[in-house]
Structure formats: structure tokens, C-alpha cells
Amino acid sequence: MGSSMLSYHSRADFLKLNSLTSLSSFQHRNGKLKLQSKPMAPSRKLHQPCALVIRCDHPQNADLPRYYSKKEKKPFPVPIVELRRAARERFKKSRGQPKKPVPPPKNGLIVKSLVPLAYDVFNERITLINNLKKLLKVVKVHACRYCNEIHVGPIGHPFKSCRGHRASIRKGLHEWTYATVEDVLVPVDSYHLYDRLGKRIRHDERFSIPRLPAVVELCIQAGVEVPEFPTKRRRKPIIRIGKSEFVDADESELPDPVPEPPLKPILTEIPDTEIVAPRDQEEKIQLAEETLEAWEQMRRGAKKLMRMYPVRVCGYCPEVHVGPSGHKAQNCGAHKHQQ
């Protein structure tokens, strides 16, 4: 009992305690000690089944992200209440202080320190696609015909987890086919913006503006020069008139821009007809390691770029827009779109 004190009035009381084993409880007269005897019949409250939980903090053992239906909006990464509270705190701290100049890229200029990183992310994406094409020659990958389920192995798994077209008739079974690079690395496209700070894309312009992979568009806005997709590069900060109104600064005094070669050579995708599979096991292992390294480098670099260049995503569908504000094209089709 440690430092606690037990007191009994007499030895008879102690003998009474031993004789009352069939009683449900015994409470001493002085109120200092209260003992509960074990009942004869097993109690449900005392004998509850305990589930064995095995926990592992390794990243690869984390649970899959939750599946959201089209009628349910995905939550914000940071709750909206926290965002509003942080905005109020910033407004209170800036009250009465002189306004600071707007840093890039909000002033229309690019962040020069992130330009080499943008080239690296662009090339790592090309390397990842080329290596996946080579690995698919030696590793069997299956994809469901009706949903986005992927299985790496000689035979698709038998789990009834399909949510695709007419899944209830098939009782959730997948219909497996051979996968391609687009199945393994799902393409997420976004509209290409000639002017990142220009007007928002209207609904009637949704077919006249080209669409690019979101990572490629992010790299282009961060400074990568792609001749097929030109973009506007300002050399002077914009002049703000209102919260959403601005005018470009006069650049007539500056010399004419000279086309500069890219900082780093840009890689290109290898055609499917020229793909050569790895010859031996050692080359296969080396190719797999390079693929994983390219994937991690691309993800890590894209996260750094997204801290400076905002990217918007729809709350109901996978639509992504690289820019300060989302577009107005109503191509979602989900429940309560843009509400």
C-alpha cells in the first residue's frame, strides 16, 4: 500500500472480512478502507474483450487516405478557423506600421533562387517516366479497367474493393488489365497560363487554353523556359491599384530582352518503341533505386515550389489549377461544385 495507513478496530472485524467472501462489497466502519470482493459470477463489465493493436510508426505502414464521395467535400489541410485566426493576428501586427514592398512572386517577378530547383524538378519528372517505362518491361503491373486500383504482381488481387462503373453488378470485383505508365503515375493536368497574374479563365475559354501536367506548369511558372508553351516574364514589379487590380510597370527604358539559353539542359521522354529493358538483375536493381530517388526528388522539390507559387485544388474532384486563384471553368460535375 506504500505510505497509506490501514486501521482495524479489532481482530474480530478482520475475521468477519474473511467470512464475507460471498458478499458483493465490504466497507469498513471508519471509512478509511473500502474493499470490493470478486463476485462469484463473471461480470460483463469486468471481462470486456480487448483487441490487440499493433502500431508501427514507419511511413510505409501508414493507412491509406480516406475515400471521399462526390457529395462530401475534402477537408482543408489546415482548418479554416485556424487560417482566419492567423489572418487576424497578422492584421493586428501590421496595424500602424509602414507597408513593406510585396516580395516575388506576388509582385509579378519570379524567385530567381528557385529557378535551378524548377529545372531539377522538371528533369526528375522526365527521368521518372523513362525509368517506369523500362521497369514495366520486366515487372508485371495490373490495373483495373473501371477504377484507379493498381496491383504489382503476376496476378491481380481478389479483394472486392472496386468502386468503378457497375461495381454492384460485379460485386466489387476488379477486372484486371496490363497497366501503362499513365496508370502507375496518374496524370494530373492543369491549364497553362500565359500570364500568371492575369484574369481568371472563363467557362467559355476552357477548350481554347492548353492543358499541361500540373508539375510541368508549376515548373514553367517558376522559371523553366519551354518554347512550346511561352509565358510572360516581367522585369519590373507590378503597380498595385486595388486588392485585385494592378498595372504593369513601364519597361520601355529597359533594353530589349535577349533570349538566354536554359540554365540546365532539359530532358525529353523516350518513345515507347525505343525503350530497352534492363539486361540483368543488377541493372534492374540500380534502375529501381534511381526511380525511387527521382520520385523523392520530384516530390521534395515540388513541395518547395508550392510554398512560393500557390496551387489550388477543387474540394470535390481532383481538378488542379496552378495560380493565385482558381479558374471559372465548370468542368467538375460533382455535387455542389464551386459552392
What are 69-111's pLDDT values in tens digits? 767 788 888 899 999 999 999 999 989 888 888 899 999 999 9
Closest to 297 (Cα-Cα) out of 119, 72, 62: 119
Band of the pLDDT at 244, cuts 50, 70, 90? confident
CA dist 135 → 62, 242, 248, 305 (Å): 25, 53, 49, 29
Band of the pLDDT at 266, cuts 50, 70, 90? very high
CA dihedral 100, 105, 108, 110 (to 10 degrees): 130
Whether 34 is covered by a domain: the verdict is no
Strand boundaries in the chain, DSSP class E: 25-27, 34-36, 141-144, 150-152, 176-178, 189-191, 211-213, 239-240, 246-247, 311-313, 320-322
| pLDDT of res. 336 | 56
End-to-end CA distance of the chain: 63
Residue 198 grid coordinates: 492575369
Written as one letter, the residue type at 61 is: N
Which has the higher per-residue pLDDT, 206 or 48?
206
Whether 219 is covered by a domain: the verdict is yes
| pLDDT of res. 47 | 53
CA dist 337 → 68, 92, 324 (Å): 15, 34, 19
pLDDT in tens, 4-14: 444 444 444 44
| pLDDT of res. 31 | 43
Q: Cβ atoms within 10 A of the Cβ of 115, count?
A: 18
Number of structural domains the chain divides into: 1
Query: Cα separation of 108 and 185, whole Å?
Result: 32
Query: Cα separation of 19 and 34, whole Å?
Result: 16
| pLDDT of res. 49 | 61
The alpha carbons of the chain give a radius of gyration, in whole angstroms, of 32
- CB-neighbour burial class of residue 35 (10 A; exposed 0-12, middle 13-18, buried 19+): exposed
Residue 194 grid coordinates: 500565359
Domain that holds residue 300: 112-134+185-252+261-322
Whether 14 is covered by a domain: the verdict is no
Closest to 266 (Cα-Cα) out of 211, 230, 225, 214: 225
Whether 241 is covered by a domain: the verdict is yes
Written as one letter, the residue type at 213 is: P
Least confident of 104-118, 217-231, 240-254: 240-254
Distance of alpha carbon 182 from the chain centroid? 19
Q: How many helices (H) and strands (E) does the chain have?
A: 6, 11
Strand boundaries in 182-294, DSSP class E: 189-191, 211-213, 239-240, 246-247
